[in-house]
Amino acid sequence: MNRRASKADVLILGAGLAGLTAAYHLRDRDIVVLESSDRVGGRTLSGEHGAYWYNLGAQFVWDPRTIGLCRTLGLDLVGGEDAESAVFVNGRLAVGRDPYRLLMKMPISWRDKAGFALTIARLRRLAAATHGLDPQLDAKSLADVIGPASPVTKAILEMATTSGTGLSTDEVSGAVGLGYAIHLFGGNVNDTLKSVRGGTQQIAKTISRAIDPERLLLDCKVESVESAPDHVAVRYRRDGGAVEEVEATACIAALPVDSVIATIPGLPASKRAALDEMLPYTRIVSVAWLTDEQESMPWERLLAVPAIGLSFELLSNNAFFGRRSDGVRRRQGGSLVTLSTGPRAEALEALDDAAVTDKIRSDLLKMFPGTRDILEKATTRVQRWHGLPRFRKGWLERQTTIREPFGRIHFCGDYTAQPGMPGAVGSGYHAAAAVRSLLD
Ligand X SMILES: Cc1cc2nc3c(=O)[nH]c(=O)nc-3n(C[C@H](O)[C@H](O)[C@H](O)COP(=O)(O)OP(=O)(O)OC[C@H]3O[C@@H](n4cnc5c(N)ncnc54)[C@H](O)[C@@H]3O)c2cc1C
Residue of 8, 23, 33, 44 that binds ligand X (CB under 6 A): 44
Give the list of residues 6+ apart from residue 158 with CB closer than 8 angstroms, or none. Answer: 168, 169
3-state secondary structure of 161: helix
Site for ligand X in 359-398 (CB under 6 A): 385, 387
Number of residues binding to ligand X, judged by CB under 6 A: 36
Instruction: Report whether 45 contacts 157 (CB < 8 A).
Output: no
> Which member of 10, 12, 17, 367 binds ligand X (CB under 6 A)?
17
* C-alpha–C-alpha distance, residues 381 and 180, integer Å: 27
Which residues fall within 8 angstroms of residue 303, CB to CB, at 6 or more apart? 80, 83, 84, 190, 193, 316, 317, 320
- Single out the segment in contact with ligand X by CB under 6 A; choices: 84-92, 152-160, 251-259, 328-336: 251-259
Question: Residue 242, Cα to own-chain centre: how many angstroms?
Answer: 34
The CA-atom distances, in angstroms, between 251 and each of 254, 340, 424, 433 are: 9, 35, 17, 12
Does residue 256 interact with ligand X by CB under 6 A? yes
Q: Shortest CA distance to 300 belongs to which of 338, 260, 331, 265? A: 331
Strands 194-196, 220-227: pairing is: unpaired
What sections of 243-303 are H helices per DSSP?
Answer: 257-263, 269-276
Q: Which region, judged by CB under 6 A, interacts with ligand X, from 42-50, 353-361, 362-370, 397-405?
A: 42-50
Please, what is the minimum distance in Å from the beta carbon of residue 130 to ligand X? Answer: 20
Part of the chain binding ligand X (CB under 6 A), chosen from 12-20, 77-85, 116-124, 134-142: 12-20
Q: Does position 255 bind ligand X by CB under 6 A?
A: yes
Contact map string, positions 186 to 205, toward ligand X, x by CB under 6 A: --------------------
Residue 284 as a binder of ligand X (CB under 6 A): the answer is yes
Cα 111 to chain centroid distance, Å, stands at: 35
Binds ligand X (CB under 6 A): choice among 420, 429, 431, 435: 420
**Nearest-angstrom CA–CA distance, 359 and 173:** 32
Does position 424 interact with ligand X (CB under 6 A)? The reply is: yes
CA distances from 151 to 19, 108, 122, 235 (A): 42, 11, 17, 52
413 is an interface residue for ligand X by CB under 6 A: yes
- Measured in Å, how far apart are the chain's first and last C-alpha atoms? 35
Task: Please choose, out of 88-96, 139-147, 249-257, 298-306, the segment that lies near ligand X by the rule CB under 6 A.
Answer: 249-257
Identify residues 289-348 at the interface with ligand X (CB under 6 A). 339
Query: Is 414 among the residues that bind ligand X (CB under 6 A)?
Result: yes
Stretch that binds ligand X, among 56-64, 69-77, 114-122, 367-375 (CB under 6 A): 56-64
Binding status of residue 222 toward ligand X by CB under 6 A: yes
Q: Is 36 in the site for ligand X (CB under 6 A)?
A: yes
Residues interacting with ligand X, by CB under 6 A?
13-19, 34-37, 42-44, 57-60, 221-222, 254-256, 259, 263, 284, 286, 339, 385, 387, 413-414, 420-422, 424
